[in-house]
Structure 1
């Protein structure tokens, strides 16, 4: 039986493409951190200011 041809090797990425992907990955990580912090802040019960202590 005939074997299927080997898949072509992945194309070589240029330095500009690698740099762009690295910037996008960093931006996505930062966005995820920011969104998690916002979600944690929303999940916390609201804190009311304490009344001043009376003497």
Structure 2
């Protein structure tokens, strides 16, 4: 029996320590984007009145 690359089990990659920080940073960026969008909407409303 011969061994192929698929037969060789590779160790699982350890979880990144920065995963939590990356997720937090992404949520903060999304939050900031939404807040800017809301502010632009309010500015438009004020200009129309």
Query: TM above 0.5, one fold?
Result: yes
> Structure 2 regions of 5+ residues with no counterpart?
1-16
Larger radius of gyration: 1
What is the CA RMSD across the aligned residues, in angstroms? 1.2
Relative to the length of structure 2, the TM-score reads 0.64
Relative to the length of structure 1, the TM-score reads 0.57
> Structure 1 regions of 5+ residues with no counterpart?
1-12, 46-55
Runs in 1 of length 4+ with deviation above 3 angstroms? none
